[in-house]
């Protein structure tokens, strides 16, 4: 008995016909939503997070942010994002915050008493709030 040669699958003789392939969509994650839904949800989020470094700087320098300050910061980051900013300096009174705009993360903080850090690098935008 002869069998046709199938070059797509290597199998020992007599192992049966080649498996059929289908183009079916990959299974969804158990989260329930699609990637597009998750992405739009993440893009629409308004909260700003603080890196461990930024949190430590705020605490060491005695800088506290009120709920109103956090709201202003969130609005400033949204404004920087609308203008295409990626790493932005946000000035709020005597406090300067460096924010990674795409991730909405404060990466460091400067207070009014930081006289030796008058030069700020690696930013592409500034927002005065």
Give the whole-angstrom CA distance, residue 70 versus residue 45.
Answer: 14
Structural Rg of the chain based on CA atoms = 27
* Domain-located, residue 94: yes
Q: What is the DSSP string of 30-83?
A: TT-S-HHHHHHHHHT----EE-HHHHHHHHHTT----HHHHHHHHHHHHHHHHT
* Domain-located, residue 123: yes
- Return the higher-pLDDT residue of 28 and 2: 2
* Domain-located, residue 69: yes
pLDDT at 51: 97
Q: Identify the domain containing residue 106 by its residue range.
A: 50-128
- From 86, 99, 87, 89, select the one nearest 49 (Cα to Cα): 99
pLDDT per residue as tens digits for the range 58-71:
999 999 999 999 99
* Domain-located, residue 115: yes
* Domain-located, residue 89: yes
pTM comes to 0.63
φ/ψ of 116, rounded to 5, equals -80, -5
Give the whole-angstrom CA distance, residue 123 versus residue 64.
Answer: 23
Q: How many domains does the chain have?
A: 1
* Domain-located, residue 12: no
* Domain-located, residue 39: no
pLDDT per residue as tens digits for the range 31-80:
566 776 666 555 555 789 999 999 999 999 999 999 999 999 999 999 99
For residues 106 and 49, the answer to whether their CB atoms sit within 8 Å is yes
Most confident of 2-11, 13-22, 99-108: 99-108
* Domain-located, residue 44: no
Give the whole-angstrom CA distance, residue 120 versus residue 5.
Answer: 68
């Amino acid at each position: 008995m002869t069998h046709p040669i199938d070059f797509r699958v290597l199998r020992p003789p007599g192992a049966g016909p080649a498996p059929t392939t289908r183009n079916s969509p990959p299974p969804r994650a158990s989260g329930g939503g699609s990637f597009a839904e998750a992405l739009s949800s993440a893009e629409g989020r308004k909260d700003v997070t603080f890196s461990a470094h930024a949190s430590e700087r705020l605490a060491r320098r005695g800088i506290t942010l009120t709920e109103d300050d956090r709201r202003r910061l969130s609005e400033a980051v949204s404004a920087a994002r609308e203008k295409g900013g990626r790493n932005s300096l946000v000035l709020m009174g005597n406090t300067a915050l460096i924010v990674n705009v795409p991730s909405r993360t404060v990466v460091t903080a400067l207070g009014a008493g930081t006289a030796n850090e008058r030069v700020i690098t690696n930013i592409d935008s500034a927002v005065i709030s």
